[in-house]
Chains A and B, each alone.
Chain A
Amino acid sequence: KAGVTQTPRYLIKTRGQQVTLSCSPISGHRSVSWYQQTPGQGLQFLFEYFSETQRNKGNFPGRFSGRQFSNSRSEMNVSTLELGDSALYLCASSLEGSYEQFFGPGTRLTVL
């Protein structure tokens, strides 16, 4: 069974731009969560999607948004990028009702 895939793996943007990251969950997993990982703040929960609906949201500004498609693939978008948005963005998928999340390799975003 293929693991969680994320594209792109690396991205360089400038302040003020926007970015869209993509995540394909493990087949059969309908829950997709997104995390931001930085050296200073560690792993922080962004949001969780299930059946195309946002089920939980972390404490991030509205510039961070996401969506999930009918095939469970998910995208997250960050608008008006700031230098502090530079981070590894991780996507994780899980079976319905399970807390066991399986992570993708992440997208390394650098904002210049």
Chain B
Amino acid sequence: GQQLNQSPQSMFIQEGEDVSMNCTSSSIFNTWLWYKQEPGEGPVLLIALYKAGELTSNGRLTAQFGITRKDSFLNISASIPSDVGIYFCAGPRWNNNDMRFGAGTRLTVKP
């Protein structure tokens, strides 16, 4: 089963609002990845994080690697309708390349 706890499960927001989601684990991760999946497609890599405390941006998206190595956050600023999709966190477990995925956050943006 999954070992990454992702929240919230779903979000319904108005266009223009900011969004924040997070991922936590009881295990240490040495890399955190954030993906977005749209219907009928595979996940697309958005941001990769490699160091504890690292803050990385990709356009309106910003992600952070938690200091404890057990959590990560993704923020989307000024949301637009095309942000709709399911956002997943993922990472290989420490000392183990077994890639784990969170259950996903389903984002709906109302125009």
Interface positions of A (Cβ within 8 A of B)? 4, 33, 35, 41-45, 48, 55-56, 58, 90, 92, 99-106
Contact = CB atoms under 8 A, between A and B. Distances in A.
A38 to B, nearest CB: 11
Given A99-B48, A99-B92, A100-B48, A43 B101 contact: yes
25 contacts: A33-B99, A41-B2, A42-B2, A42-B102, A42-B103, A43-B90, A45-B98, A55-B97, A56-B98, A92-B42, A99-B31, A99-B91, A99-B92, A99-B99, A100-B33, A100-B45, A101-B33, A101-B45, A101-B99, A103-B35, A103-B42, A103-B44, A104-B42, A106-B41, A106-B42
Contacts of B102: 42
A33 B90 CA distance: 14
Contacts of A35: 101
Interface in B89-111: 90-92, 97-104
Contacts, number: 51
Closest 7 CB pairs of A and B: A103-B42, A43-B101, A99-B31, A42-B103, A103-B43, A90-B42, A105-B42
Nearest to A3: B42
Interface residues of B, number: 24
B44 to A, nearest CB: 7
